[in-house]
Amino acid sequence: MVTAVRHVAPQAGTPETLAFPPLFLWGTATAAYQIEGAAAVDGRTPSIWDTYCRTPGRVRNGDTGDVATDHYHRWREDVAMMADLGVGAYRFSLAWPRIQPTGRGPSVQKGLDFYRRLTDELLEKNIKPVATLYHWDLPQELEDAGGWPERVTADRFAEYASLAAEALGDRVHTWTTLNEPWCSSFLGYGSGVHAPGRTDPVAALRAAHHLNLGHGKAVQALRASLPSRAQISVTLNFHHVRPLSEQAQDVDAARRIDALANRVFTGPMLKGAYPDDLFQDTARLTDWSFVRDGDVQEIHQPLDFLGVNYYSPTLVSGDAPESSHGSDGHGNSAHSPWPGAKDVAFHLTPGPTTAMGWSVDPTGLNELLLRLDADFPGLPLMITENGAAFDDYVNPQGEVNDPDRIAYLEGHLAAVHRAIAAGVDVRGYFLWSLLDNFEWGYGYSRRFGAVYVDYPTGKRIPKASAHWYGKVARSGVLHTSTESVD
Ligand code: IFM
């Protein structure tokens, strides 16, 4: 259900005042491996990312998550900072190798205690905890046993979900199974720019299916342990795909990327079937016989909302030479993350880009929300990640001024508001990220935080955007500096 939104219609060229629904959730987001550090503390064992970081040439500057922002020790200060900013929710992930180190067997009390302390403190400060079970840190032992391309990993994931729900279900009421399974499958097993760094297109498709299956099993495990008021979701990094032209080959390229990026997950999870065109497009690689009878029914579980991560739109044409796959903004590899779509070329939308080289285009977020609402009527949406990396620095006054990030956030929040005003049930927005952190293959070279982290000392400095976002979050009103573009 959508709460009425007061939209003060702008006059041409004037700033707008956009009021969000009273219960709209304003949050920030992080992930365990990107911020926690303490990689070998209290029983944690290596995940695939620890291994990947130690493989020469994989991560920029040889960076690792060993220390990261040291949130494992500085969590109290970080929660206090969120409270000072005035955000009402915090999305974080649980580290599987901290809770169930080998991916099998009983949980480790010290690992659970960390999250119990963290969530107690959040609740104490009136910040709603939103926990993600899996943000890419698969215990290395499970990868050694075959990883996500193997079915058994889905069963392991459901066991871990039960352990987490039993230990934290009394205080965490909002849960997400997977974060961005597209990255886990296609970057992890296809192009190899993410851990575990494998480059096998069939393994990537198998991984996607077993992540779907793990999601379905985990939702059932969570429902079995959590109180009935618990909210359960999954977070997908939707690719809002646009064809470069109306020519048939470009329109078909957009359809194929949409199938491989989005519908491979939303099909089974939300509609109860894999898309036929996905099977046809990949038929030369696999017959999909790893999808067993009953799997899709198991994957298709009722969800309380859908987590949406959006950064940039995806512009494609169908004319890349077979030997290349263009740059799709997901790191450089000789191997495509798009099985069966090597002839698809990726393009930048004209206009500004972020330090990731990603186009800044809030209209993509607005269109995506309208499309999701049309495709999955009645399913509430939550923006679980949105934000931008820029080359931030501390000025001689000790401040970090990041006007580009403020402009990015303003444009995207206005786009969310337009979707709500059009009737889309968007329940909240989580800025990625609370802190500068370990940006996977880019190491610490990209800063997404609203709060600057001085890595040698661990000192936190809220950037201008953090103060700006805090004001919007506290008031629930966005004052745009220019009329937002429709
Ligand atoms: O840092 C990542 C995050 O872990 C998942 N979503 C995209 C972010 C920016 O690349």
Question: Does the annotation mark 298 as catalytic?
Answer: no
DSSP state of 189: I
User: How close is the Cα of 320 to the center of ligand 1, in Å?
Assistant: 27
Taking CA atoms, 41 is separated from 97, 145, 255, 285, in Å, by 11, 24, 46, 42
- Residue 405 exposed, middle or buried by CB count within 10 Å (0-12, 13-18, 19+): buried
Taking CA atoms, 447 is separated from 165, 311, 434, 439, in Å, by 32, 14, 11, 8
465 lines ligand 1 (CB under 6 A): no
For every residue of 17-48, which 3-state class applies, written as one string? EEECCCCCEEEEECCHHHHCCCCCCCCCCCEH
Give 159's Cβ-side CA count (13 Å radius). 15
In the chain, helix, strand, coil percent, each to 5?
40, 15, 45
If you write DSSP's letter for every residue of 69-92 in order, what string do you get?
T-HHHHHHHHHHHHHHHT-SEEEE
In the chain, the largest separation of any two C-alpha atoms, in whole Å, equals 63
Residue type, 220: Q
The crossing angle, in degrees rounded to 10, of helices 464-475 and 71-85 is: 60
Find the Cα–Cα–Cα–Cα dihedral 161, 381, 471, 414, rounded to 10°.
150
Report the SS3 class of residue 281. Answer: helix
Taking CA atoms, 164 is separated from 102, 298, 436, in Å, by 15, 20, 27
Kindly tell me if the per-residue pLDDT of 8 is higher than 50: no
DSSP state of 125: T
Digit-coded pLDDT (tens) for 223-233: 999 999 999 99
Question: Does the annotation mark 385 as catalytic?
Answer: yes
Rounded Cα–Cα distance for residues 135 and 95 (Å): 8
Residue % of the chain over a pLDDT of 70: 95
444 lines ligand 1 (CB under 6 A): no
- Taking a C-beta distance cutoff of 8 angstroms, is the pair 240, 310 a contact? yes
Rounded Cα–Cα distance for residues 278 and 276 (Å): 5
Instruction: Give the mean pLDDT of 260-265.
Output: 98
235 lines ligand 1 (CB under 6 A): no
If you write DSSP's letter for every residue of 252-271 in order, what string do you get?
HHHHHHHIIIIIHHHIIIII
- Residue 226 exposed, middle or buried by CB count within 10 Å (0-12, 13-18, 19+): buried
Digit-coded pLDDT (tens) for 99-148: 999 999 999 999 999 999 999 999 999 999 999 999 999 999 999 999 99
User: How close is the Cα of 425 to the center of ligand 1, in Å?
Assistant: 24
pLDDT value of residue 331: 80
Rounded Cα–Cα distance for residues 472 and 86 (Å): 9
The two three-digit tokens of residue 468, written as one number: 């700006």
- Taking a C-beta distance cutoff of 8 angstroms, is the pair 263, 278 a contact? yes
Q: Confidence band (pLDDT; 50, 70, 90) for 6?
A: very low
Pocket mutation for ligand 1, best pick of 33, 49, 235, 440 (most atoms within 8 Å of C-beta): 440
* Omega before 196 within 30 of 0, i.e. cis: yes
309 lines ligand 1 (CB under 6 A): yes
Digit-coded pLDDT (tens) for 71-102: 999 999 999 999 999 999 999 999 999 999 99
β-pair partners for 93: 132
Rounded Cα–Cα distance for residues 79 and 81 (Å): 5
Atom of ligand 1 nearest to the CA of 237: 6
305-319, 352-366, 471-485: least confident range: 471-485
pLDDT value of residue 328: 74
Q: Confidence band (pLDDT; 50, 70, 90) for 332?
A: confident
* Omega before 323 within 30 of 0, i.e. cis: no
* Domains present along the chain, CATH in parentheses: 6-484 (3.20.20.80)
pLDDT value of residue 327: 60
180 lines ligand 1 (CB under 6 A): yes
- Taking a C-beta distance cutoff of 8 angstroms, is the pair 155, 213 a contact? no
Average pLDDT, the chain: 95
Atom of ligand 1 nearest to the CA of 432: 8
Digit-coded pLDDT (tens) for 164-206: 999 999 999 999 999 999 999 999 999 999 999 999 999 999 9
Which residues, 6 or more positions from 281, have their beta carbon under 8 angstroms from its beta carbon?
A: 256, 259, 260, 340, 341
Kindly tell me if the per-residue pLDDT of 485 is higher than 80: no
